[in-house]
Structure 1
């Protein structure tokens, strides 16, 4: 059995669905047209816009692609800018590095 979805996760998906709905309407695109462009069913688009957490993430990605915003998904967790991860990596670095025996230490 699945564990309950954390409330912040549910809220984020609902917000994304609402934002997709707003972006679609601002562009004067019908739900049916968006569904066709995404390769999805009309019911999937409706559920996605309502923030249904059971809609697979690839449909949200397809909608972002239709709107020219797929880079937003690509950059969500940019590891080069992951301050916590980089700090943890740096903290585990050795204090000093010794040359292996039999090597001069020069590169």
Structure 2
């Protein structure tokens, strides 16, 4: 694999590919059929299932769509549930908010 890819990322992609392979086989879908449904080549499906980090993410998304699982991708980093991001935002909130004096041309 590419030495510039962090090991946890490489492992996650390999697991994702293995999970796609298992999901495909459990659904009794051939690699040829999955490739056709995804609009991809069979070699792309094979590379994806082997966890090749060079396969573009849209192919993984297309596989999820074929399996009826695209919402899993949509919910990966749901900003409404991003506890770290929300906490960091809340820490930057002002302690109090003051009204600005009205200017002469204000409504």
Correspondences of 1:1-107 after superposition (within 5 Å): 4-102=4-102
Distance in 2 between residues matched to 1:26 and 1:4, nearest whole Å: 33
- Could you tell me which runs of 5 or more consecutive residues in structure 2 were left unpaired when the two chains were aligned: none
TM-score by length of 2: 0.92
RMSD: 1.4
**Pairwise CA distance, 1:3:** 7.3
**Pairwise CA distance, 1:95:** 0.6
Distance in 1 between residues matched to 2:14 and 2:102, nearest whole Å: 61
**Pairwise CA distance, 1:68:** 0.1
Per-residue Cα deviation, 1:27-79 (whole angstroms, up to 9, x for no partner): 11100000000000000000000000000000000000000000000000000
TM-score by length of 1: 0.92
The runs of 4+ residues in structure 1 deviating greater than 4 Å are none
- Could you tell me which runs of 5 or more consecutive residues in structure 1 were left unpaired when the two chains were aligned: none
Per-residue Cα deviation, 1:74-97 (whole angstroms, up to 9, x for no partner): 000000000000000000000110
**Pairwise CA distance, 1:102:** 2.2
